[in-house]
Amino acid sequence: MKKIIITGILCLLVVAYIFAQAKKQPLAQASIKRGQKVFESTCIVCHQKNGGGVPRLNPPLIKTKYVLGDKSQLVQIVLKGLNQPIEIEGETYNNVMPSFAQLTDEQIADVLTYVRNSFGNKASAVTPALVKAERAKTQ
Ligand code: HEC
């Protein structure tokens, strides 16, 4: 009897987990789709369609520590821009990236979720709530 109850509980947990995952996926997919549009209208001129950037001018967005790393720092880069020498795969970049604080919290979350899941990148989604919290820090 005890075994049956434990097995029953385990089954329920597995089912609940599968449902939670299934619910999460389409949300991220929708965000990635919207993010692609933001990328194409806002970031593509410098970082290029394939995220490869432009040698010595605009860094690539492919598996860099900024793209895959700390999400708060990544959000800050979009909110404030970046103007300091950075090194990516032995190449130094020191051009200016302007601020994109004019984008909405959702647009920034979407574009970063798109970038973190494109060009060979695979990482968790960025939420509008995180962008909102990071924006509050800059004001
Ligand atoms: C006008 C050109 C330009 C545009 C537009 C632009 N960037 Fe950048 N971006 C740069 C430059 C230049 C750097 C490096 C800045 C430095 O060296 O201080 C950079 C750096 C970055 C970095 C950190 C370094 C790396 O490659 O991982 C990320 C992430 C990034 N940009 C994302 C974006 C996103 C997302 C957008 C669109 C919302 C965007 N950028 C729009 C020029 C641009």
Residue 14 lies in a domain: no
Average pLDDT over residues 21-27: 68
Ligand 1 interacting residues, C-beta cut-off 6 A: 42-43, 45-47, 58-61, 64, 66-67, 74, 77-78, 82-86, 88, 93-98, 100, 111, 115
Q: 130: domain range?
A: 27-138
Residue 83 lies in a domain: yes
Give the mean pLDDT of the chain: 92
Residue 2 lies in a domain: no
Residue 134 lies in a domain: yes
Report the nearest-CA residue for atom 7 of ligand 1.
97
What is the number of structural domains in the chain? 1
Residue 72 lies in a domain: yes
Q: What are phi and psi of 6, to 5 degrees?
A: -60, -45
Domain of 66: which CATH number?
A: 1.10.760.10
Digit-coded pLDDT (tens) for 52-92: 999 999 999 999 999 999 999 999 999 999 999 999 989 99
What pLDDT was estimated at residue 21? 67
- Give distance in angstroms: CA of 123 to centre of ligand 1: 18
Q: What are phi and psi of 20, to 5 degrees?
A: -60, -45
Average pLDDT over residues 38-65: 97
pTM: 0.87
Average pLDDT over residues 116-131: 97
Residue 8 lies in a domain: no
